[in-house]
């Protein structure tokens, strides 16, 4: 049993491919594991690569920024309030900034370790703001770049993930979703905001994966409802699991 627990805790939660998403088994239930939660999320968007400086990618980056400006004070955040516990009160947050990083530019394949190094180096240099307990860096890579994570590849095994660095730096990674496994079949921005809402909800309720709100059989709040969507304002977002409603809402 210890081995099982150990393995579970070391698997970084990912957004699965659309084809891999299956209805959760009966009776999912998130339980709190004693770790930190994010109370008032402070999102900083990192667009990694010079591709983001030119249209059409720059137009997408603008839309992503608009999405985060909206979503951090939206009903999506309000519904997470039911998971407030242990002195942590989950409420609305802010988008504190965005930046495009071009030095270094990403190579055609970047590993999670490269992304962790990038974040740490850019924080040290002052190019990125230092994190606090509410900060989540969202890293976006351009079309054509493969992200690898523990031997898995974007668009082959996953569409996004979130994790922490030493329990101090919280971050999410979103490879560009223009591939059959990660597209919604609509505009690229729809897949991006769908995946972003999944990761944002998970980063708030389980910033150190497995130490916040978690279900041993089904994973995190977004995993239970993967690829079930609704519209909020003009944006496509994912449903999230509600213990109170006993449903994806
Ligand atoms: Zn997830």
Chain segment 113-155, per-residue pLDDT in tens: 999 999 999 999 999 999 999 999 999 999 999 999 999 999 9
Residue 26: which pLDDT band, with cuts at 50, 70 and 90?
Answer: low
What is the whole-number distance in angstroms between the Cα of residue 228 and the centre of ligand 1? Answer: 13
Q: Could you tell me the distance, in angstroms and rounded to a whole number, from the CA of residue 219 to the centre of ligand 1? A: 7
pLDDT at 9: 42
Asked whether the predicted pLDDT for residue 13 surpasses 90, the reply is: no
Contact indicator for 90, 83 with CB cutoff of 8 Å: yes
pLDDT at 211: 97
Q: What are the tens digits of pLDDT across the range 53-68?
A: 999 999 999 999 999 9
Question: Separation of 123 CA from ligand 1 center, angstroms?
Answer: 26
Q: Please say whether the beta carbons of 197 and 220 come within 8 A.
A: no
* Range 98-112 average pLDDT: 97
- Residue-wise pLDDT tens digits, 181-234: 999 899 999 999 999 999 999 999 999 999 999 999 999 999 999 999 999 999
Residue 179 CA to ligand 1 center (angstroms) comes to 19
Q: Tell me, what's the pLDDT at 20? A: 77
Mean pLDDT computed over 93-118: 98
Dist. CA 54 → ligand 1 center (Å): 30
- Separation of CA 15 and ligand 1 centre (Å): 5
43-55 as b/e: b if 16+ CB within 10 A = bbbbbbbebbeee
Tokens of 60: 């997408």
What's the 223 CA to ligand 1 centre distance in angstroms?
4
Mean of all residue pLDDT scores within the chain: 93
pLDDT at position 61: 98
Distance from Cα 125 to the centre of ligand 1, integer Å: 31
- How far apart are the CA of 192 and the centre of ligand 1, in A? 14
What separation in Å is there between the alpha carbon of 168 and the centre of ligand 1? 20
Compute the distance from residue 81 Cα to the ligand 1 centre, in Å.
18
Q: What is the pLDDT of residue 23?
A: 66
């Amino acid at each position: 049993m210890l081995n099982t627990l150990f393995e579970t805790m070391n698997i970084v939660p990912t957004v699965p491919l659309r084809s891999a998403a299956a209805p959760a088994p009966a009776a999912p239930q998130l339980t709190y594991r004693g770790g930190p939660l994010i109370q008032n999320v402070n999102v900083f968007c990192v667009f990694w690569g010079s591709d983001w400086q030119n249209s059409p990618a720059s137009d997408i980056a603008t839309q992503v920024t608009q999405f985060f400006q909206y979503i951090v004070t939206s009903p999506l955040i309000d519904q997470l309030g039911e998971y407030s516990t242990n002195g942590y009160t989950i409420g609305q947050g802010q988008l504190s900034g965005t930046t495009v990083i071009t030095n270094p530019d990403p190579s055609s394949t970047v590993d999670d370790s490269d992304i962790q190094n990038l974040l740490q180096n850019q924080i040290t240099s002052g190019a990125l703001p230092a994190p606090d307990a509410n900060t989540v860096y969202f890293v976006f890579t351009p079309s054509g770049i493969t992200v690898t994570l523990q031997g898995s590849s974007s668009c082959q095994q996953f569409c996004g993930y979130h994790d922490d660095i030493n329990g101090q730096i919280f971050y999410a990674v979103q490879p560009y979703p223009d591939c059959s496994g990660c597209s919604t079949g609509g505009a690229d921005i729809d897949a991006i905001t769908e995946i972003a809402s999944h990761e944002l909800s998970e980063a708030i309720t389980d910033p150190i994966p497995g130490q916040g709100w978690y279900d041993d059989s089904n994973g995190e709040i977004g995993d239970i409802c993967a690829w079930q969507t609704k519209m909020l304002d003009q944006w496509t977002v994912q449903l999230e699991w509600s213990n109170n409603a006993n449903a994806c809402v």
